[in-house]
């Protein structure tokens, strides 16, 4: 026997009819089962009111993780994926495209600062390339004014990457 999965609209309607005490009880029961649910609720309750500080804290944490990356290529790639997983989780919590772009640009800048420049390990190279493509796509989805602001940072990142990485060709990633 399986439990019927209801749509978001049906769940929303049902939640509107519940008393506040029962809603609190449901929330507490829900966060008991997954760490990510607990983290999301903690973000919504304590951090959501000041998104910019939260983004700065994430940047600082990512910077610290970059500074701790090992020198062996295989483990560097694993460390980079771990940082990206953390950024994806927090980006999902925030739910804002500008914040996502800001975090990804910060990731790419940290990559250029901390990762070995002459690496021939293809997975490490592909991680940067995928993030640059994500930033380019996300910038295209923004309002024109924000596109202009972020495209300047993006172009600066491309210039920096081309000057620091011998294998990088910025012409492939221009907006």
- Output the pLDDT for position 55: 92
Residue 140 to residue 157: CA distance in whole angstroms: 16
Q: What confidence tier does 1 reach under pLDDT thresholds 50, 70, 90?
A: low
Three-class secondary structure assignment of 106-175: HHHHHHHHHCCCCCCCHHHHHHHHHHHHHHHHHHHCCCHHHHHHHHHHHHHHHHHHHHHCCCCCHHHHCC
The 10s digit of each residue's pLDDT in 55-101 is 999 999 999 999 999 888 889 999 999 999 999 999 999 989 999 99
Q: What confidence tier does 110 reach under pLDDT thresholds 50, 70, 90?
A: very high
- Residue % of the chain over a pLDDT of 70: 98
Residue 175 to residue 170: CA distance in whole angstroms: 10
- Output the pLDDT for position 60: 95
pLDDT (average), residues 113-122: 78
Domain segments of the chain as ranges: 9-173
- Output the pLDDT for position 8: 86
The 10s digit of each residue's pLDDT in 119-142 is 778 898 899 999 999 999 999 888
Encoded tokens for 8: 């978001």
């Amino acid at each position: 026997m399986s439990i019927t999965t209801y749509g978001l609209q049906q769940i929303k309607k049902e939640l509107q009819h519940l008393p506040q005490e029962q809603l609190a009880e449901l929330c507490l029961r829900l966060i008991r089962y997954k760490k990510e649910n607990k983290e999301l609720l903690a973000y919504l309750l304590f951090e959501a009111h000041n998104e910019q500080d939260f983004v700065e804290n994430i940047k600082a944490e990512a910077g610290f993780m970059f500074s701790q990356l090992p020198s062996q290529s295989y483990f560097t790639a694993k460390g980079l994926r771990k940082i990206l997983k953390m950024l994806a989780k927090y980006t999902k919590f925030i739910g804002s495209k500008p914040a996502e772009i800001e975090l990804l640009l910060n990731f790419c800048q940290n990559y250029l600062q901390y990762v070995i420049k002459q690496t021939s390990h293809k997975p490490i190279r592909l991680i940067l390339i995928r993030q640059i493509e994500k930033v380019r796509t996300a910038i295209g989805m923004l309002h024109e004014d924000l596109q202009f602001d972020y495209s300047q940072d993006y172009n600066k990142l491309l210039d920096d990457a081309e000057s620091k990485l011998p294998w990088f060709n910025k012409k492939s990633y221009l907006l």
